[in-house]
Amino acid sequence: MIATITRGSTQYQIDLANPIDISIPLVGGKDNVNAWYLEPPIIEPVKTEGFIGKVAEGGSVNFNMVHFNPHSHVTHTECSGHITREVHSVNRHLNNYFFWAKLVTVAPEKIGDDFAISAKQLEYVLDDKSTEALIIRTIPNVEAKRSKDYSNTNPAYLLEEAIHFLVDHDVKHLLVDLPSVDKERDGGQLASHKAFWNIGGEERSDATITELIYVPNTIEDGMYWLNLQVAPFENDAAPSRPVLFKILET
């Protein structure tokens, strides 16, 4: 299935028949991705007197309870409510779900004891100033990202200057294969989060950050049509399923 999308005065064809899912699913247990010092998520059948929600154990239906944290256990999209005193819901602030997106691959730089992405690196890869969404794949890029426990590993992050660069280039939706755009232990500063949403200024309440994605190495860098599917949770963050579609040559 091919769709035609107009951008400015130019028409592009989008390949809807071959979606590229870059989310990490919730599977439960220790094989699930994890961060922020929490126990693994739990998916288990409901058990009450005279009832078990598992057909294999004699139940009439499979009826599971799911215990998880969206920030820790799954690809998720968050809004400014993640760090503001006033409660904001990503379900209310994200009202559009299709964006022009650029996928770039970046090797975080060694800075002291850390690895981080700088403004200079993004300046090198981001040459399209009209990109609505930016997807950052970090290297090394290994399949183990889908099940890694990031707690106490000091993962790579984005420098505040890199975030300012993105804001200056009107990037509204940032997607990363990291547990956070900020350093794991930063004393609660959250400088990159605050810069992205311009906390303290004219807040960018329609901007989002999506963390814990995974982009296979077989997917080439370049421009894509992004469908950012977000579960309708009234919360600062919700599980999400970003899906890419190739833009065909015309």
- 38 part of a folded domain: no
Tell me how far apart the alpha carbons of residues 60 and 96 are, in angstroms, rounded to a whole number.
Answer: 39
Helix, strand, coil percentages in the chain from 3-state DSSP, rounded to 5? 15, 35, 50
Tell me how far apart the alpha carbons of residues 6 and 40 are, in angstroms, rounded to a whole number.
Answer: 44
- Containing H/E element for 174? strand 173-176
- 87 part of a folded domain: yes
- 239 part of a folded domain: yes
Amino acid letter for position 21:
D
**C-beta contacts of 41-44 below 8 A and 24+ residues apart:** 41/66, 41/67, 41/68, 41/69, 41/73, 41/74, 42/66, 42/67, 42/68, 43/67
- 240 part of a folded domain: yes
Q: What is the pLDDT of residue 87?
A: 87
The model's pLDDT over 43-52, given as tens digits with 9 standing for 90+, comes to: 999 999 999 9
Cα torsion angle, 228, 234, 238, 240, sign: negative
Q: What is the pLDDT of residue 129?
A: 63
Residues in the chain: 250
The model's pLDDT over 12-40, given as tens digits with 9 standing for 90+, comes to: 899 999 999 999 999 999 999 999 999 99
Q: What is the number of structural domains in the chain?
A: 1
- 196 part of a folded domain: yes
- 224 part of a folded domain: yes
- 50 part of a folded domain: no
Q: What is the CATH number of the domain that holds 118?
A: 3.50.30.50
Residues of the chain predicted below pLDDT 50: none
Three-state DSSP state, 197: helix
Domain that holds residue 203: 2-25+70-248
- 46 part of a folded domain: no
Q: What is the pLDDT of residue 250?
A: 57
